Amino acid sequence: MQPISRRQALLLGGLGAAGTAAGATGMIWALSSPPDPVTGAKLVQPQDQRSADRLLQVRLEAAPGQILLAGKQAAALGYNGGIPGPTLRVQAGDVLKIKLVNNLAQPTNLHVHGLHVSPEGNGDNVFISVEPGSTFDYEYTLPEDHPPGVYWYHPHHHGTVADQIFAGLFGAIIVEDPDPIEVSTERVLVVSDTTLDGLGNIQAVPAMERMMGREGQLILVNGQSNPQFTARPGERERWRIINACVARYLRLRLDGQQLQLLGMDSGRYPQPETVDDLLLTPGNRADLLVTTTTGESALRAFHHDRGNMPGMMGSGARNPTQPDGTALATLRVSGEQAAPLAAVPALKGPENLTSSAIAARRQIVLAAGMGMGASGMMRFTINGREFNETRTDTTVAAGNVEEWTLTNTSPMDHPFHLHVWPMQIIEENGQSKTTAVWRDVVNVPANGRVKVRVAFNDFRGRSAYHCHILDHEDLGMMGAIEVR
Per-residue pLDDT at 18: 35
CB 379 within 8 A of CB 372: yes
Neighbours of 61 (CB within 10 A): 18
469 has pLDDT over 60? yes
| Residue 19: pLDDT over 90 | no
Return the top range by mean pLDDT from 18-32, 90-104, 196-210. 90-104
Q: Is the pLDDT at 7 greater than 60, yes or no? A: no
Query: Of 127-136, 200-209, 317-326, which range is least confident?
Result: 317-326
Q: What is the pLDDT of residue 2?
A: 55
pLDDT for the residue numbered 27:
35
User: Quick one: how far is CA 174 from the chain centroid?
Assistant: 14
CA 242 – CA 214 distance, rounded (Å)? 18
In the prediction, which pLDDT does 118 show?
Answer: 98
- Compute the average pLDDT of residues 177-186: 94
Which helix or strand (DSSP H or E) is residue 474 part of? helix 470-474
Would you say 222 and 84 are in contact if contact means Cβ atoms under 8 Å apart? yes
Instruction: State how far the Cα of 245 lies from the Cα of 201, in Å rounded to an integer.
Output: 18
| This prediction's pTM | 0.93
The SS3 of residue 69 is: strand
Mean pLDDT of 98-114: 98
Q: Is the pLDDT of residue 13 over 70?
A: no
* Spatial separation of the C-alpha atoms in residues 174 and 195, rounded to whole Å: 28
Is the distance from CB of 421 to CB of 399 less than 8 angstroms? no
Distance of CA 9 to the CA centre of its chain: 25
pLDDT band at 347 (very low <50, low <70, confident <90, very high): confident
- Give the least confident one: 19-28, 30-39, 422-431: 19-28
pLDDT for position 346: 87
Q: What is the pLDDT of residues 118-172, one digit of tens each?
A: 999 999 999 999 999 999 999 999 999 999 999 999 999 999 999 999 999 999 9
Give mean pLDDT, residues 399-424: 97
Q: What is the mean pLDDT of the chain?
A: 91
pLDDT value of position 320: 53
Lowest mean per-residue pLDDT among 189-193, 231-235, 254-258, 310-314 = 310-314
Q: Is residue 459 helix, strand or coil?
A: coil
Other Cβ atoms within 10 Å of 387 Cβ, number: 22
Residue 255 pLDDT more than 80?
Answer: yes
- Burial degree of 313 (CB within 10 A; 0-12, 13-18, 19+): exposed
Q: Is the confidence at residue 319, as pLDDT, over 80?
A: no
pLDDT over 60 (residue 24): no
Per-residue pLDDT band for 280 (boundaries 50, 70, 90) equals very high
pLDDT at 23: 36
Per-residue pLDDT, averaged over 360-366, amounts to 98
Report d(CA 213, CA 466) in Å as an integer: 14
pLDDT surpasses 90 at 25 = no
**One-letter amino acid for residue 212 of the chain:** M
In the structure, what pLDDT confidence band is assigned to residue 267 with cuts at 50, 70 and 90? confident
- For residue 323, name the pLDDT band (cuts at 50, 70, 90): confident
Grade residue 51 by pLDDT with cuts at 50, 70 and 90: very high
| pLDDT at position 1 over 50 | yes
pLDDT at 376 over 80: no
Residue 9 has what pLDDT? Answer: 53
- Pick the closest to residue 125 from 137, 142, 143 (CA basis): 137
pLDDT reported for residue 468:
98
Q: How far apart are the C-alpha atoms of 277 and 254, rounded to whole Å?
A: 7
The mean pLDDT of 105-122, rounded to a whole number, is: 98
Q: What is the model's pLDDT at position 349?
A: 82
For the segment 430-457, the average pLDDT, to the nearest whole number, is 96
Residue 198: Cβ within 10 Å count: 13
- The yes-or-no verdict on residue 423 having pLDDT over 80 is yes
User: What gap in Å lies between CA 66 and CA 73, rounded to an integer?
Assistant: 6
Please, what are the domains in the chain? 6-179 (2.60.40.420), 186-333 (2.60.40.420), 360-483 (2.60.40.420)
Instruction: Kindly state the average pLDDT of the residues 189-203.
Output: 95
In the prediction, which pLDDT does 308 show?
A: 85
Percent of the chain topping pLDDT 90: 83
**Residue 314 in this model has a pLDDT that exceeds 80:** no
pLDDT at residue 20, as a whole number: 36
Q: Is the confidence at residue 62, as pLDDT, over 70?
A: yes
